[in-house]
Amino acid sequence: MTQRSDAAAFGRFAVGLGAFRLEFCFSVAAGDVLVLFGPSGAGKTTALRAIAGLARPDHGHIAIAGRTVFAANNGAEPAEIWVPPHRRGVGYVTQQNHLFPHLTVLRNIAYGLRDRRGALARRRVAELIDRLRLNGLEERRVWQLSGGQQQRTALARAMAPSPDLLLLDEPFAALDLELRRELGAELRATARQLDVPVILVTHSREEALALGDAVQIIDAGRTVALGPPLTTLEQPGRGRVARLVGVENLLEMRVAARLPQDGTMVCDAGEHSLETPLADGCAVGDAVTVGVRASDIILASGPLPQSSARNTWAGAVSAVTPRPPGYEVALDCGGIVLRCHITGASLESMSIAPGMPLWAIFKASSCFLLSE
Amino acid sequence: MVVRFRRRARNEGRPTETALGALAPAGMVATVIYVLFIGLPVAALLVRAGQQDGFLAGLSGDLVLQALRLTVVTSVISLAIVVLVGTPFALLLARRKSPALRVIDTFVELPIVLPPVVAGVAMLMAFGRNGLLGPALSGVGITLPFTTAAVIFAQIFVAAPFYIRAARIGFAAVDPAYEEVSQTLGVSPWATFRRLTLPVAWPSLLTGLTLAWARAVSEFGATIMFAGNLTGRTQTMPLAIMTAMESSLGAALALAVLLLAMSALALAALSALLRRPGAPA
């Protein structure tokens, strides 16, 4: 975790809240979205609050747009540098959006502007209303808005004073999937266009993949992984991280054979065996955990006569559960249950139902090793 | 208390009136009885005042005018002090949780249930010539009992809890998370209080203010004990009514009608202000 000197916002600090302790280090460039990902109670919100100045770290430093807004040595009290929240130039959008109930949409957006009735302010508000498609709602009361409109208003309000850093705490959590995607795309475009760095907290893998330039995975107050979204979320290297990002199938196996000429190796568990990419540093007989993403598994009504996929397991459907936008099929392959994600159309055309025999097919390269 | 900013439920339809259905006839009878019970005396006061000789003379008589002026002046001063001290106090009660504050919170409402006469006696025991602080006060040349200042003391004592309680509820209804968001928008804590907390709590504050003012204007027991009944100095309207009942019914009725009008006006102003969409920002 290095701090880039061109980062628009960076810092390293520790916050203690009773028994909970967060050690946090971050760095985000202008126009980039840094996603904080992790389970509830991991410390994501606390990190945002400390950056915004709403929680006070014990020690560390935080810099935003080239200005140190917090700096303190270990245990030194009071903080050597402490910029109060209203002078940090940080936009903060909460999950509940906290729109001001006594003001209209227009006046909510204009709230943080100096000289709110001036021509400059009016132009800025009009621009944001256009950008976030709030036209026609200017004089509405905030409780007359739909969830998506409320969240867009909150975004517009946070962006109006041209913050040097935008902090978004699960801003789309209350919205339905479609709206979520739509707003996410808008956010992405807006951040790029305005060249503002964004830190986004989310629980959703899809959101992290779609919006993040980097993903930082936090667990129990510590950063456990940091990197590009695809590598961090799709091929997590460590067991704990894999569980956090929700790799659906984790198989405890043993290395049975190494096939360097194919770049693969064979792992087995009881009578099950599968091929994975060849990994350095593990010998025949070593215990390994193999991860397979549910969306990387193909379900077929029979074994494919000829295919490039190296792994084919037979099993019977033990459960079908809706998992919007598709379904999750649990396939019992004689002791090991594989979870597979398919679309509603596939479910229907194959008329998949519990008890039905099916074959799970997945490539060796879809398997990855998790070293605990 | 008025809670105005609750989010409205959409498309929930009209509530069913099952409970009301069974009790509707009883409810209607009760309504008629209650309206008569309150309305009859009020109507009687107005009718009797219209018939009374010397009612108009009473309205412009010295006794009435002096009492009116004294009541308005003292109640306005009392209210100003209550707002000045009560607002930050209520904010603290609403936002800080501590065992000491919880005890104080309970204590705040004591004057609401305490008989005013007891309050008057208690204040005499504290500030009277032979009271706890009496010698110290007279040492610096201050005598409180039976002065206009004592009227104001009595009014603050009985009226403040109404404002403080309403203000505390109003402030407690403003989630501090809103204030945090306001600050991240570049608005200082003080400006946040002025532009966010105050306007959102405004309906509660206004309601509390009206109740406190009504209580101050009608204050009788504590005043007569602690401030006495001196025309022009401590004789407020309620005291003047009692005095006038012995000599001039016309003046008493004039004062009563005036107080009734003032109360009705305050109530009308309150509901008009609360109905206005959007408080001062």
- How high is the pLDDT of residue B5? 47
**DSSP line for A166-188:** EEEESTTTTS-HHHHHHHHHHHH
Subunit contact A86:B175, Cβ cutoff 8 A: no
Instruction: Tell me the per-residue pLDDT of B68-123, one tens digit each, with 9 for 90 and over.
Output: 999 999 999 999 999 999 999 999 999 988 899 889 988 888 999 999 999 999 99
- How high is the pLDDT of residue B78? 96
Q: How far apart are CA A151 and CA B140, in angstroms?
A: 62
Residue B199 identity: P
DSSP code at position A227: E
Q: Which residue is closest to A104 within chain B, CA to CA?
A: B278
Subunit contact A54:B180, Cβ cutoff 8 A: yes
Contact status, residue B184 vs residue A157, Cβ threshold 8 Å:
no
- Mean pLDDT, consecutive 10-residue segments, chain A of 372 residues? 60 86 91 87 90 91 91 68 92 92 93 87 90 88 89 92 92 76 82 89 81 88 85 68 74 89 89 88 84 89 84 90 84 88 90 91 86 52
- How high is the pLDDT of residue A5? 45
Q: For A162, list phi and psi in degrees, rounded to 5.
A: 50, 65
- How high is the pLDDT of residue A323? 79
The whole-angstrom distance between B147's CA and the closest CA on chain A is 44
Subunit contact A94:B195, Cβ cutoff 8 A: no
Tokens representing A168 are: 């978004």
Count of C-beta atoms within a 10 Å radius of residue B69: 13
Residue % of chain B over a pLDDT of 90:
59
Tokens representing A63 are: 């810099």
Residue owning tokens 């959703």: A204
- How high is the pLDDT of residue B15? 55
Mutate to test the interface with B, among A86, A113, A166 (most CBs of B within 10 A): A86
- Check whether B20 has a pLDDT greater than 80: no
Subunit contact B187:A157, Cβ cutoff 8 A: no
**DSSP line for B214-244:** HHHHT--HHHHHHT---TTTT--HHHHHHHH
Contact status, residue A42 vs residue A220, Cβ threshold 8 Å:
yes
B280 touches chain A (CB under 8 A): no
- Check whether B279 has a pLDDT greater than 50: no
B1 touches chain A (CB under 8 A): no
Find, among B243, B221, B252, the residue nearest to B151 by Cα: B221
Residue B12 vs residues A22, B8, B16, B192: alpha-carbon distances, Å: 44, 10, 11, 35
Query: Of residues B50 and B183, which shows the higher confidence score?
Result: B183
Mean pLDDT of B234-250: 89
- How high is the pLDDT of residue B63? 85
Instruction: Tell me the per-residue pLDDT of A199-226, one tens digit each, with 9 for 90 and over.
Output: 999 877 778 888 889 999 888 888 888 8
Give the alpha-carbon dihedral of A183, B174, B263, B221, to 10 degrees: 170
For chain B, how far is it from start to end, CA to CA, in angstroms?
Answer: 21
Q: Which residue is closest to B196 within chain A, CA to CA?
A: A100
Subunit contact B200:A100, Cβ cutoff 8 A: yes
The neighbouring-strand residues paired with A289 are A252, A370
Q: For A208, list phi and psi in degrees, rounded to 5.
A: -60, -40
Instruction: Tell me the per-residue pLDDT of A244-270, one tens digit each, with 9 for 90 and over.
Output: 677 788 888 899 999 988 889 999 988
> Which stretches within A195-334 are classed as H helix?
205-211, 229, 239-245
Instruction: Tell me the per-residue pLDDT of B112-152, one tens digit each, with 9 for 90 and over.
Output: 999 999 999 999 999 988 888 888 888 888 888 889 999 99
ipTM for the complex? Answer: 0.75
Subunit contact B186:A86, Cβ cutoff 8 A: yes
The neighbouring-strand residues paired with A27 are A10
- How high is the pLDDT of residue B10? 47
Q: How far apart are CA A239 and CA A252, in angstroms?
A: 11
- Check whether B165 has a pLDDT greater than 90: yes
Count of C-beta atoms within a 10 Å radius of residue B200: 24
| DSSP H/E element including A48 | helix A44-52
